[in-house]
Structure 1
Amino acid sequence: MLESGFQVVVYDRNPPRVAALVTVGAQGASVLSDLASCEIILTALSDDQAMIAVCDGPHGLLASMGAGAVHVSTGTISPEAAEALERKHEACGQAFVSAPVLGNPDLARQRLIFVLAAGKMSAMKKVMPILEALSQKICVIAEQPEKANILKLAANVLTALTMQGMGEVLVLLRKSGFNERDVFEVLTGTLFDSRVHKGYGGKIMQKHYLPAGMTLPLAVKDLRLALLQAEKVQAVMPTAAIVHDRLVGMCAQGWENLDWSALGLLTARDSGLADDVPGRDEE
């Protein structure tokens, strides 16, 4: 946003993160009430609990925002939380837009993420210039903010299922005597040439699980929310449930700091391959 010429005020519960952005032109905020003059406020929070902690209360975001301001949530929260936030903001004379993203931190730095945006059209029109500056494409979903969150959860399920499949196939090929890199190039250069196959499959093939683009606890949370939505609408997702349990199992083994593509690591170890767990030597 700074590179695009926007005036940016930054707040974070971790002060060194604020200081780092102040050095490149942002204005620092020590409390949420310092954001009162901002017309648009973007949050990037990990779950419903973090969102509630930031938004509610006499010194929270809702109390700090001015009338007519728009809150844009880029995090992966539950549809129920998005619905509740829209009601709370409307009661305060404010607006709410859900704008979760598809992509990882590397893509975000290059402005190559995809934004799934949903909210009232008047609010969407107001925030569109900022979203355009941050992404390669904006997908306008609906006027109901929770619709964007449901689609984001569905996309994360599809990503997790793809990684599980890539992990199984690469282990099969390794144990059959193939060079992983050669067969990976064959697979992703023919029918399986999507960003997910190439990006996350590449992490599995290279055993590149650190640093994490999305840590395992966040992946567990996202699949849990997707399965809750599936139960709510009576959609059967047996494979997603299995992958959710595998993610939980990795957390139980102390792998919480790894990227969720470590589904490939779990499959390798289940298959008798002695792949190292990244970071264990430093523990």
Structure 2
Amino acid sequence: MRIAFLGLGRMGSGMATRLAQSGDHTLTVWNRTADKAQRFTELGASIAKDPIEAVRDAEVVITSLLDDQSVEALFHEGSEVLKALPPTAIHLCVTTISPDCANRLQDLHAANGSRYVSGPVIGRPDASAAGKLVQFLAGDTSAIKVVSPICHAFAEQVMPLSVRDAGVANSQKLCINFFVASLIEVMGECFTLGEKLGVPRQNLAFFLDKSLPLPGLKVYVERLFKRETDSTTGFTMTAGRKDLGLMLRAAAAVDCDIDIATIIAEKMDIAISQGMQNLDWSATQEITRQRAGLLN
């Protein structure tokens, strides 16, 4: 198929690379910072000078951007990008956006004659590059049937949801990210309490590692145990804080308290104020340690 891929950040570049390497599609890429797109010429992809050029002949447009604002800056009523979409084209958004934004995009495309699918993914950038993501799909049923085979290039599990509202896929992603963030927070507190009580960190790491079956969760046991805060292959504090904001707003909209999310968001704000914005989001453990008087 003719695919336009918009957004080549840490997650997007891995997904776009997998699509290019599959050899099954004609791929055009675009990124706000043009130099990130240059290497895709070596993979046989075309580089568009702007998103309008990228989508003009596309059957499927995939957006991997930052947030609600970055997606809706391209796709809104009367936008040139929306006008450039061919009839019946499909917009697959893999960005972590709010459920409300997803539903707005669904309505926008329905009115335009195009189709929309929310396809948020679970996994870190290394899983994206390895094609090991988990993905949820919700939105236009006919479009989901079209994009599902495409998604297997970068996701080992593709889960269509039998719901009408596209935003449910984003709600599911937020619930899972809430669980992961909460688990990181609890493990960080566990390591800190153990250290204060004289418990060897390696003993706690052994127990936590044996308690968690998923490799993606075991990564955080090792990171927290070793206090590895580099985010080169992970999720930055800034990105994590954005997701916490989405979780808290979604919960408030349905009158559901998620108290631990408030605690994590507060620690992330402190971490960012201390210059940790580009560290892995699990570096909130360092704030827990500071509060406990562990300053090294």
Q: Distance in 2 between matches of 1:225 and 1:31?
A: 28
Deviation, 1:196, is 4.9
Determine if the alignment matches structure 1 residue 16 to structure 2 residue 55.
Answer: no
Q: How do residues 208-247 of structure 1 correspond to structure 2 at under 5 angstroms?
A: 208-212=228-232, 213-247=234-268
Deviation, 1:107, is 0.8
Q: Distance in 2 between matches of 1:63 and 1:254?
A: 41
Deviation, 1:239, is 1.8
Match of 1:31 in 2: 50
Deviation, 1:201, is 2.2
One-letter identity of the residue aligned with 2:111? A
The equivalent position to 2:179 in structure 1, one of 154, 158, 165, is 158
The equivalent position to 1:206 in structure 2, one of 191, 206, 226, is 226
| Per-residue Cα deviation, 1:173-225 (whole angstroms, up to 9, x for no partner) | 23333442343123212x33344541222221222211252222222221222
Match of 2:67 in 1: 47
Contact map agreement 2:77 2:108 (CA 8 A) in 1: no
Identity, % of aligned positions: 29
Contact map agreement 2:52 2:84 (CA 8 A) in 1: yes
Deviation, 1:45, is 1.0
Contact map agreement 1:203 1:209 (CA 8 A) in 2: yes
Match of 2:114 in 1: 94
Match of 1:281 in 2: none
Q: Distance in 2 between matches of 1:130 and 1:266?
A: 41
Deviation, 1:155, is 1.1
One-letter identity of the residue aligned with 1:263? T
Q: Distance in 1 between matches of 2:202 and 2:84?
A: 52
Match of 2:16 in 1: none
| Per-residue Cα deviation, 1:84-118 (whole angstroms, up to 9, x for no partner) | 11111112110111111110001111111100111
Match of 2:206 in 1: 185
The equivalent position to 1:168 in structure 2, one of 171, 177, 189, is 189
Q: Aligned-residue CA RMSD in angstroms? A: 1.7
- TM-score of the aligned structures, taking structure 1 as reference length: 0.91
Match of 2:22 in 1: 4
User: SS at the partner of 2:152?
Assistant: helix
Number of equivalent positions: 274
- TM-score of the aligned structures, taking structure 2 as reference length: 0.87
Q: Distance in 1 between matches of 2:130 and 2:282?
A: 21
User: SS at the partner of 1:97?
Assistant: strand
Structure 1: gaps (5+ residues): 276-283
One-letter identity of the residue aligned with 1:220? R
Match of 1:279 in 2: none
Contact map agreement 2:135 2:155 (CA 8 A) in 1: yes
